[in-house]
């Protein structure tokens, strides 16, 4: 039996989908799982995947896998526009599995890379200082160079870089068109397997909700992840230290909102619910998180400890962090999403 699993969307969605692949094979161990994706390298060496085909190269797909096949299942639902996901009833992976009537048992993303492959990449990544890898912008050029919904503001990111650039070689994962940061070494997200090795070999990691945070989870590398529009309970992982943005400081115009309040591309400035960069993140909080955790913790696959609440500075006034039943000022709690619980 063939199972066709089609994944539409970006690289991070494909990384998250590796967890769904494992769940599918748990229910259908004898099936040949064929993944259709824009990022087949994500599934290289994956023991649960029979073939990973690029969406841009599907010649003879119908003849080979659909025509005259009486025993084939098609899993092509988009979880982003499903009722449970829009209602925030669970993590993306959980919702995705349930759309296909697949039991969910806490599967996490997995990237498979041998020591031979890792060491080959490591030969090209020798630096005089330990590496800190950051991704502060996501999306594509078509979506714009900066998204207030997802990206760490440039001024905030630069303060974090300044705090660590003397002790670390800071590698900035970004497109060449995206906003640059001083004292960093830009690397484009073109070779996925190389990026996996880069994240695996790094000592510290600062990410947003994009492919890097999913990849870090897939290889067991706890990271600091900053969240604005999306929520770690739907996209994040408990192993990370998840820093949630401060509460809105202005009333946004949501007349164009459809299934969620903000478009992830963040191209409509009227939707912004913040007046200033520091309304979103306090850089000192991000810096403090890194300084509290020894590098040994950041390098090992283990649960990240909880992070205490911070004080948020809004319009030069100090606001105490609210209790758990209120909207957090800037929540430093770990994500409550443990796929084993959701």
295-320 as b/e: b if 16+ CB within 10 A:
eeebbeeeebeebebbebbbeeeeee
Last residue of a domain, one of 99, 134, 157: 99
Domain total of the chain: 2
Residues 208, 254, single domain; the answer is yes
CB 147 within 8 A of CB 125: no
In a domain, residue 57? The reply is yes
Q: How many C-beta atoms lie closer than 10 Å to residue 57's C-beta?
A: 8
Residues 92, 125, single domain; the answer is no
In a domain, residue 90? The reply is yes
Q: What is the CA radius of gyration of the chain?
A: 20
Structure tokens at 124: 């090209």
Residues 89, 127, single domain; the answer is no
Last residue of a domain, one of 67, 99, 131: 99
Residue 329, pLDDT score:
30
Which of 190, 184, 241 shows the shortest CA–CA distance to 211?
190
At residue 35, φ and ψ (nearest 5 deg) are -100, 130
Residues 203, 233, single domain; the answer is yes
Residues 15, 162, single domain; the answer is no
CATH number at residue 218: 3.40.50.2000
Domain that holds residue 215: 120-319
In a domain, residue 56? The reply is yes
Residues 203, 257, single domain; the answer is yes
Average pLDDT of adjacent 10-residue blocks, the chain of 342 residues: 95 97 98 97 97 96 90 95 96 98 97 91 88 90 78 96 97 90 88 94 95 96 95 96 94 87 80 93 94 64 35 30 30 39 40
Sign for the pseudo-dihedral over CA of 16, 18, 21, 26? negative
Residues in the chain: 342
Residues 168, 31, single domain; the answer is no
In a domain, residue 340? The reply is no
Residues 85, 177, single domain; the answer is no
Residues 163, 293, single domain; the answer is yes
Residues 92, 137, single domain; the answer is no
Residues 95, 129, single domain; the answer is no
**What pairing do the DSSP bridges indicate for beta strands 51-54 and 32-37?**
parallel
In a domain, residue 339? The reply is no
Residue 7, pLDDT score:
98
Helix (H) or strand (E) holding 218: helix 211-218
Residue 204, pLDDT score:
94
Residue 141, pLDDT score:
60
> Judging by beta carbons within 10 Å of its beta carbon (0-12, 13-18, 19+), is residue 226 exposed, middle or buried?
buried
């Amino acid at each position: 039996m063939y199972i066709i699993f089609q994944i539409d969307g970006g690289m991070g969605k494909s990384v998250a989908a590796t967890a769904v692949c494992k769940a599918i094979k748990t229910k259908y161990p004898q099936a040949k799982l064929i993944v259709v994706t824009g990022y087949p390298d994500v599934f290289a060496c994956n023991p649960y995947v029979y073939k990973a085909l690029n969406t841009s190269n599907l010649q003879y797909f119908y003849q080979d896998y659909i025509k005259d096949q009486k025993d084939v299942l098609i899993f092509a639902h988009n979880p982003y526009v499903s009722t449970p996901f829009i209602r925030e009833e669970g993590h993306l992976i959980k919702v995705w599995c349930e759309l296909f009537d697949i039991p969910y048992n806490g599967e996490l993303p997995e990237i498979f890379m041998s020591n031979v492959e890792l060491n080959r990449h490591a030969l090209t990544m020798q630096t005089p200082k330990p590496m800190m890898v950051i991704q502060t912008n996501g999306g594509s050029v078509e979506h714009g160079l900066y998204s207030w919904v997802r990206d760490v503001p440039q001024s905030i990111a630069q303060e974090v870089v300044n705090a660590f650039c003397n002790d670390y070689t800071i590698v900035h994962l970004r497109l060449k068109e995206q906003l640059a940061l001083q004292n960093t070494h830009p690397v484009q997200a073109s070779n996925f397997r190389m990026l996996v090795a880069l994240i695996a070999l790094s000592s510290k990691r600062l990410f947003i909700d994009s492919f890097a945070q999913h990849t870090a989870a897939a290889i067991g590398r706890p990271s600091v992840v900053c969240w604005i529009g999306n929520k770690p309970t739907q996209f994040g992982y408990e192993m990370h230290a998840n820093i949630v943005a401060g509460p809105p400081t202005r009333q946004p115009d949501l007349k164009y909102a459809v299934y969620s309040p903000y478009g992830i591309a963040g191209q409509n400035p009227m939707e912004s619910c913040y007046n200033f960069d520091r309304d979103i993140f306090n850089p000192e909080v991000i810096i403090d998180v890194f300084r509290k955790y020894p590098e040994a913790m950041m390098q090992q696959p283990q649960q990240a400890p909880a992070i205490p609440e911070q004080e948020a500075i809004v319009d030069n006034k100090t606001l105490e962090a609210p209790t758990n039943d209120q909207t957090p000022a800037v929540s430093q709690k770990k994500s409550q999403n443990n796929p084993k619980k959701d």
